[in-house]
């Protein structure tokens, strides 16, 4: 049993939730997000709350109803407050800049690495800090992971792209004889 799925989710002020033909849509001041819902999970939208229930006898529905409740919470937070991911560049000469709809990274390769910024995500670069903002938590997290993947932090000197607050376990290098 899902602890999150058992609870009825209250709809915040200024947010509207609709469930039509298998698609859950959340609209708020910062935009609209929608997500398809499998038929094994039943969604009941009331005046002030939303409840999820698995279909009787459905093993997949019992596994997914808490997941859809978490998705609804993330969607409602996204359309009201939004989400932020902060990445830090660590290394001599490592730079980033926003050129139009691309984030261009210079991180020790012989060439700059351009990454297309997805629709709905904002990127801001100040010195060696990249701030990504958006209302879709999944899309924002995936883009932040793609940026980090360009140059992961290495364990000897700690150079690379890391999330703010991420701790890199350092290894000891070779010892001089």
Per-residue pLDDT of the chain (177 residues; tens, 9 = 90+): 678 888 899 999 999 999 999 999 999 999 999 999 999 999 999 989 999 999 888 899 888 888 999 999 999 999 999 999 999 999 999 999 999 999 999 999 999 999 999 999 999 999 999 999 999 999 999 999 999 999 999 999 989 999 999 999 999 888 876
Looking at the domain covering 83-163, what would its CATH class be? alpha beta
pTM: 0.89
Q: Residue 145 has what pLDDT?
A: 97
Q: Where in the chain is the domain with CATH 3.90.930.12?
A: 3-80, 83-163
Q: Residue 1 has what pLDDT?
A: 62
164 alpha-carbon distance from chain centroid: 15
Quick one: which of 140, 143, 148 has its CA closest to 107? 148
Are residues 116 and 102 in contact, defined by beta-carbon separation less than 8 angstroms? Answer: yes
Range 3-80 classified under CATH 3.90.930.12:
yes
Q: Residue 2 has what pLDDT?
A: 73
Q: Which two tokens stand for residue 28?
A: 């708020």
Q: Residue 177 has what pLDDT?
A: 67
Contacts of 149 (CB under 8 A, 6+ apart): none
Q: Which two tokens stand for residue 86?
A: 């902060």
Q: Which two tokens stand for residue 170?
A: 């350092």
């Amino acid at each position: 049993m899902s602890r999150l799925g058992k609870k009825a989710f209250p709809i915040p002020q200024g947010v509207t939730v609709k469930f039509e033909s298998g698609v859950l849509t959340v609209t708020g001041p910062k935009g609209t997000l929608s997500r398809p819902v499998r038929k094994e999970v039943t969604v009941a939208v009331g005046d002030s709350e939303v409840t999820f229930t698995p279909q009787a006898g459905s093993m997949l529905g019992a596994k997914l109803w808490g997941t859809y409740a978490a998705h609804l919470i993330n969607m409602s937070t996204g359309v009201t407050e939004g989400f932020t991911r902060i990445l830090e560049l660590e290394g001599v000469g490592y730079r980033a800049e926003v050129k139009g709809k691309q984030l261009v990274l210079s991180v020790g390769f012989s060439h700059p690495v351009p990454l297309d910024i997805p629709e709905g995500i904002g990127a801001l670069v100040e010195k060696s800090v990249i701030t990504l903002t958006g209302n879709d938590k999944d899309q924002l997290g995936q883009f932040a992971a793609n940026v980090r993947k360009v140059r992961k932090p290495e364990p000897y000197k700690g150079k690379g792209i890391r999330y703010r607050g991420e701790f890199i376990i350092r290894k000891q290098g070779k010892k001089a004889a």
